[in-house]
Amino acid sequence: MGLEKKNAISVSSLLSSYIKEMGLAPGLNTQRIFAAWDACSGAGPFTLKRFFRSGTLYITLNSSMVRDQLSFQRDLLVEKMNAYLSHDELFTDDNRTVGYIQKLVLK
């Protein structure tokens, strides 16, 4: 008796299914959004607080100069972060609770 061949499932689709099944997507998406902020803005070292709710990313910075510089680039930053998220294998884009960034608020 030999081993039967079964349809192989990729690790990424298995991981995606597991994340959805266990209800981990909202928390993981939030963490991926914060990582996108750090990667795309370059302001990670100046960031005091991060908060995401209803499509809005709220960022509190410890430097008014950095905040002023980034405020001119808000729309571009949102585009860059969403592009970053679209290529992130751990980001679940069909999650109703935590999805793509629609608005950026700098404090």
Instruction: Give residue for tokens 């410890």.
Output: 62
Q: What is the pTM of this model?
A: 0.84
For residue 106, which phi and psi values (nearest 5 degrees)?
-105, 130
User: Which letter does DSSP use for residue 41 in this model?
Assistant: H
Q: Which of 66, 63, 42, 38 is nearest to 50 (CA)?
A: 38
Confidence (pLDDT) at 23 = 82
Please give the average per-residue pLDDT across 30-38, as a whole number.
Answer: 96
For residue 96, which of 59, 56, 54 has the smallest C-alpha distance? Answer: 54
Q: What is the mean pLDDT of residues 6-18?
A: 78
Three-state DSSP state, 3: coil
Question: 56-94: per-residue pLDDT in tens?
Answer: 999 999 999 999 999 999 999 999 999 999 999 888 887
Euclidean distance between CA atoms 29 and 91, whole angstroms: 5
- The pLDDT of residue 1 is 54
Report the distance separating Cα 77 and Cα 101, nearest Å.
10
CB 92 within 8 Å of CB 25: yes
